[in-house]
Amino acid sequence: MKDFRSLIVWKKVHELTLLVYEITKTFSKEELYGLTSQLRRAVRSVPTNIAEGCGRSSAEFRHFLQIAKGSACEVEYLLLLSHELHMTKDSDYEELSKRIVEMKKMLSSLFAKLKTNR
């Protein structure tokens, strides 16, 4: 497979990861080992799995993309939770939600492309 840094989906999710780290800096200190930590771990898992999968066979890469999509779903829920707990501004939540939905579509598209190129 190619260099993960050349994948558009990886670039977009990396940007999202940096944004989540910035936004979670404003979360309550009592959530440092709770929601903040879990959200950061989940969002970091998405580009990490894409990067790791790039170094594997096509079948293994598809498996890593599935894991990345599962982590993306986890991020989507944790963002919703943080918003409903009033830890994120409406505008931040809307932007992050839009990006996570786009990212999940891109992961599904890449998975399908790899599946047809066996």
CATH number at residue 71: 1.20.1440.60
Give the model confidence (pLDDT) of 32-59 as tens digits.
889 999 999 999 999 999 999 998 998 9
Give the model confidence (pLDDT) of 20-35 as tens digits.
999 999 999 988 889 9
Would you say the C-alpha torsion 26, 96, 66, 68 has a positive or negative sign? Answer: negative
What contacts 86, CB < 8 A, 6 or more positions away? none
**117 pLDDT higher than 80:** no
Q: In which domain, by residue range, is 82 found?
A: 4-116
Looking at the 3D structure of the chain, how many domains does it have? 1
Give the model confidence (pLDDT) of 61-102 as tens digits.
999 999 999 999 999 999 999 999 999 999 999 999 999 999
Residues in the chain: 118
